[in-house]
Structures are given as structure tokens and as C-alpha cells.
A and B are shown apart, each in its own frame.
Chain A
Amino acid sequence: MITTPNLIRWSGLAAIAAGLIFAGIQPIHPADVVESVTTNLWTIIIGLKFVMCLFFLVGITGIYARQADKAGWLGFAGFALLVVSWWLLTGFVFVEFFVLPVVATPLPGFVESALGVANGHSGAMDIGAFVPAYAVVGVCYLLGGVLFGIATVRAAVLPRWPAILLAVAAIITPAAALLPHALQRYAAVPMGIALIWLGYSLWSERRGKVAAAPAGRPADLAA
């Protein structure tokens, strides 16, 4: 039956799927070079990434809704930043999936510059606001992850360890920039695990507990 608590529970599955893809694709992600974008592996991995972005948006909305009454403004800020980050990222992944393979032959310079936002090597071609927009993704990912992780720990509705992992994973992501690009990717793994863990908690909570919780109804009535 479709009820708000059930919808929130089901969103746990979306978070699990997003986390599995996010952590799982990193070891097999093709190199961010022009030659990669026309390979089958690229199509599969980037296609999965596009699905991941959508699942993430659904999953994080459920994780937030589950604890909204306890997570306060900190939780809301973290949620809003994460949504902006992953929503913009969806645009980048759309370009990687649908546009880069098409223009790889006629416009290799453009593809090189576009991939440069991820691998840190700026290409020869000026691609306008594409580069600063990717920086926005990064900043929102980091800040959103830290705030959302802290708010989740403080709310004490979902397990605290995946929340701590989420915050720590967000913090170490920029530090990973000091590593070679191929290793940098692995900063996504703890984030993926945190998502799987939080999603699983959301999904597996006992139904009675979930049904009682989502709204803090007594508080509302008191207001």
C-alpha cells in the first residue's frame, strides 16, 4: 500500500542502488581520456552513473524526510546542498553519456576540455561556464555531505556510523585530489558504502517504528 512511511522506506532501496553503483563502478571506470568515450565500457559505466544520480536524488530525499523533524535546519541545509550537487552532476553525466561520444571525432578538443573538469587537466578549448559549474558540484558535495552527516548523527534516528562515514567521505574527497587521478576515484567508495548502509537502515526499519515516526505528529498537533 502506498503511504508516506512506505514511500520513505522504498526510497531506502534507491539509496542502496545509488551507493552500490557509486562504489562499484570506481575500479572499472574507464580513464577520462578522449579515446574512452566511444568505447562500450564508457556507455555502460556512464549509463549506470546517470541512473545512479536519479536514485541518489530519490534516496537522499527519503533519508532526509525520515528524520526531517529531528535533523533541523542543519539537516535541511545539508539536504539542499546535496540535491544541488547531484542535480548538477546529473547534467554533467548527461553530457558524458549523450554528447561526448557524438562529438569525439569532429571535436576532440572539446571532449578533452570537458573531461578536464574531472581529471584536472584543462584542455585547449575554452568551454565557458562548464568548468566553474563543476566546482559548484564539488563544493556542494563536500559541504552538503558534512552537514548532512552531522545532522544525521545528531538526529539519532538512523545509525550514527554510516552518517559519520558520509561526513568523513565528503571531507576526504578534496584531499584525494592530492592523489593520482586513478586513485582519486576511490574517495567515492566510502560515500557509496555510507549510502548503502543508510538506505538499508531506512528499508529494514521495523514497520511499526517507521509508521510512528515520519511526522512527529504530536509536535504538530501541539503547534
Chain B
Amino acid sequence: MTITTQSLIRWSGPAVIIAGLSYALVGVFHPPNIVASVTTPLWMVVHVLAMTTSIFGLVGLSGLYARQAEKTGWLGLAGYVLLSLWLALILGFTFVEVFILPPLATAAPAFVAGWLGMFNGTSSTLDLGSLPTVWTITGPLYILGGLLFGIATFRARILPRWAGVLLAVGAAMGPVAALLPLDLQPKVAVPVGLALIWLGYSLWSERRTKSVAPATHAADVSGLTPAPAV
């Protein structure tokens, strides 16, 4: 099989599905953010899944965006950039949770407790520098990124519009998490995970002829014609 840009974009569909599935699973199974959790197998599994969300999300989102770039305009680009930045920062946090927290749970429980405090709202005895600020920034990146990308997807009419709505609404629900009890908070990931699975599946299952058509050069060519005189 020849690898073409179209088939690459199509293949990014399974990457988006994996990202969505792993994200939803993280939401369902995330253990409580307490020091005793970090050395459990469940902690490791859930955070490796979160790392999976990050890499497959970065790759898959590029395909999801490329598929509809011409139609989504600056709104789509802004959503794509914000969500990608979120995925990159999330990688950093989950990387620490996989590789750093477990070995430090015994050697430096104060650091681990301080780290987990960023998520469960307790204050740290150790000065964590700019980390809490960066964690705070991931919130708006996720909410705005998901909202813009969802709306852009809805407006572009290339992929299922309701999947775009689910993504936008799911991301906008982020702040609602703060109202939930701590152990329910990760569950707000589930709608966004489902939206990604849906979008990824559509990208993957689009009929080839259809998927060849949208990138037509019609758009390109029309771009070359002078804009209506104003």
C-alpha cells in the first residue's frame, strides 16, 4: 500500500481512538491522589494510559485537524494548538507520575504529597516553584482548546457534527469537576474520551472516495482567484 497524505490522515483515526479510549479509562479508573496510591499497580497502569493519551493524542489530533484544516479556519487552528499544548504539558505531569513519584514515595513523601496536593487542593509543605501555576494553566488550555476545536468541527461539517458538540460540551464541563467530590472528579474525562473515539472512528471509516474529495484543490484554486471586490 502506498502511503499518501490521505491515508496518513485516515490512519490517524485509530490514533485518535486510542487517545480517546485511554483518556476515558483514565477518567474511570483514576485512583485517589494520595501518597499510598502512587506505589500501586493501578496507579502505574492509569498513568501509563495517560501517557498513551498524550502521544496518540498529539499524533491523532494532527490528522483530525489536517482532515478539516481548510474548512475550520483560524478557530480550528487555535483549538488544535491549545489542545496540543495541553497534551504536551499533560505528558510532563504524567511522566513525573510514572517515573518520579513511585521511587520518591518512600524517599521523599513530602514532595509526593505536595505534588498530589496540586490536584486535591491541599497545600504543599515544600515549595513547588512554578509547577502549581503550570498545572493551573492546563485547565484553560483544555477547556478552550476542546471548546474551539469542537465548535470548529461542528461548523466544518466534515466529521460528525454531534461528536464536535460532545467534545465542546465535554471540555466545557471541566470546571464542573471542582464541584464534584474528589473521587468523582476524574470522571469528567469520559465525555471527551467518547467524543475522541467517535471522531477517530469517523476519520478512519470515511469512505475513501469521500476522504479523497475534501482536500480537493478546489479550495486551493478558489484561493487563487481574486477575492470579491470590496
Contact = CB atoms under 8 A, between A and B. Distances in A.
Contact of A4 (B66, B76, B102, B208): B66
Contact of A87 (B58, B104, B215, B223): B58
B8 A65 contact: yes
Interface string A86-129: 01101110110011011100110010000000000000011111
Contact of A91 (B72, B73, B95): B95
Contact of A102 (B126, B219, B220): B126
A25 B223 CA distance: 40
A98 to B, nearest CB: 5
Interface stretch (B27-35, B129-137, B177-185, B190-198): B129-137
Contacts of A4: 5, 66, 69-70, 215
Given A3-B223, A4-B5, A106 B108 contact: yes
Interface in A152-205: none
B91 A83 contact: no
B110 interface: yes
Interface SS of chain B: helix, strand, loop or mixed?
Answer: helix
Interface residues of A, number: 51
Nearest to A211: B220
B220 A68 contact: no
Interface string A55-98: 00100010001001101110110000001100110111011001
A72 B3 contact: yes
B110 A99 contact: no
A65 B45 CA distance: 32
A90 B91 CA distance: 8
A98 B72 CA distance: 35
B143 interface: no
Given A215-B215, A220-B212, A107 B107 contact: yes
B42 interface: no
A214 B55 CA distance: 24
Contact of B110 (A57, A106, A211): A106
B169 interface: no
A216 B69 CA distance: 18
A88 B48 CA distance: 12
Nearest to A62: B62
A31 interface: no
Contacts of A215: 4-6, 215
B54 interface: yes
Interface string B96-139: 10111011100110110000000000000011111100100000
10 contacts: A7-B66, A54-B88, A61-B62, A91-B51, A95-B95, A99-B100, A110-B104, A128-B103, A129-B98, A215-B215
3 closest cross-chain pairs (CB), A and B: A94-B92, A91-B95, A215-B5
